[in-house]
Amino acid sequence: MADDKNPFPGENNTGHVWDDNIRELNNPIPRWWMIGFWASIIWWVAYGLLYPMIPLANDWTKGMLGWTMTGEYQEAVEEITAVRAQFEDQISALSAKEILADEGLTSYTIASARVLFGDNCAACHGSAGQGNPGFPVLADDDWLYGGSIEAIEQTLINGRRGMMIAHGKMLSDQEISTLANFVVGWSQGQEDPAGAQLYKDKGCFGCHGQDGKGLQMLGSANLTDAIWRFNEADKVAGAAYTIRHGVNDPSDPQTREAVMPAFKDRLSENDIKKLAVYVYSLGGGQ
């Protein structure tokens, strides 16, 4: 072990020698290492001066640059807003129909409205407008209030409220069954003279039209197409339920609900325009 007498003098060793010739040298640290060491310290000091670094009791050192993480986030948001601004400006200057005429603008609108749709529409209408039990499909071409871009925009702005009187107290069970069977058959191209007569006698045509195709002004359903607003596995039972309890009839507690809320107070004009374009492009726009 260590010995007072150094057997390797003039070698810059620490005087610790083991096994006769293994000794610990006291060489200077390499210069490149020392440069890196001091550079790191200078870096640390500079960083501490420029950026927030040391937490204090109720505060922290702010740094000379005034940099904050939220500030950087805000800057990034401003940046992306500036990128979007050119499109957003165009969108506010154009009508929804004019946006649809521009393929580039349409794809921007669809991309940016996807999030809006997810936040505001998907809960009822499904993530891709595929509908949910009791809520209409937006991807088909059956529109109670019209499938033109203007009509869709109106629906979004003012909302819609379906309306059908509950007929349970006006019609007998037999009549309800006949009518239900008749309208379901109608949509499948079958003819039923007795049902047709009852349809006429009971004044159904007042809302649904002579030809049964419904009136978009009223939002009455087209009874002759393949799509049922209240789609159930047993179509006849579903139709009978609707006839019996109506839609949004306050006098019947079992009435069907069909309310589309108005979005004019919730979303900006641009957002509504974008959503109209998005819904129109889901597959059923007319």
Partner 1 sequence: MQLMIKERVLNASEKQIPTTTVDDLYAEAGHWHVNTGEEKIHAKRMGGRWRTLKWWSNAFWLVFFLGPYLRWDDRQAVLFDIPNRQFHIFGATVLPQDFWMLSLLLLFFAILLAVATAVAGRVWCGFFCFQTVWTDVYTWIEDKLEGAPQKRRKLDEAPMDARKLRIKVTKHALWLVIAFFTGISFVAWFNDAYQLWADLFAFEIGTVALVFMLMFIAGTYVLAGFMREQACFWLCPYARIQGVMIDRTTVLPTYDFQRGEPRGRVKKGQSEEDRTTGDCIDCNQCVAVCPTGVDIRNGQQEGCITCALCIDACDAVMEKVGRPKGLIRYESLDVLEGGVSTPMLKRPRVWIYAAILTAALSGIIYGLSSLDAIDLKVIHARQPLFVQQSDGSIQNKYTLKVLNKMSADADVDITVSGPQGLVLVGADEPISARHGQVSSRTVFVRVPPEQLVSESTPLSFSVTTVYKGERFTSQRDSVFIGPKP
Shortest Cβ 8–partner 1 spacing (Å): 13
Does the protein bind partner 1 through residue 105 (CB under 8 A)? no
Does the protein bind partner 1 through residue 220 (CB under 8 A)? no
Options 67-75, 85-93, 120-128, 239-247: segment touching partner 1 (CB under 8 A)? 120-128
Among 227, 236, 262, 267, binds partner 1 (CB under 8 A): 227
Does the protein bind partner 1 through residue 139 (CB under 8 A)? yes
Does the protein bind partner 1 through residue 64 (CB under 8 A)? no
Specify the 3-state DSSP secondary structure of 97: helix
- Cite the DSSP H helix spans in 51-102: 69-93, 96-101
When the beta carbons of 90 and 130 are compared against partner 1, the nearer one is 130
When the beta carbons of 118 and 159 are compared against partner 1, the nearer one is 118
Phi, psi at 125, each rounded to 5°: -90, 0
Does the protein bind partner 1 through residue 127 (CB under 8 A)? yes
Options 61-69, 78-86, 140-148, 272-280: segment touching partner 1 (CB under 8 A)? 140-148
Q: Is 117 in contact with 280 (CB distance < 8 Å)?
A: no
Q: What tokens were used for 31?
A: 């210069």
Does the protein bind partner 1 through residue 283 (CB under 8 A)? yes
Site for partner 1 in 10-49 (CB under 8 A): 21
- Cβ burial, residue 157 (10 Å; 0-12/13-18/19+): middle
Options 42-50, 65-73, 77-85, 132-140: segment touching partner 1 (CB under 8 A)? 132-140
Determine how many CB atoms are found less than 10 A away from the CB of residue 119.
Answer: 11
Angle at 191 between CA 186 and CA 195, to 5 degrees: 80
Report the DSSP pairing between strands 160-161 and 259-260: antiparallel
Specify the 3-state DSSP secondary structure of 54: coil
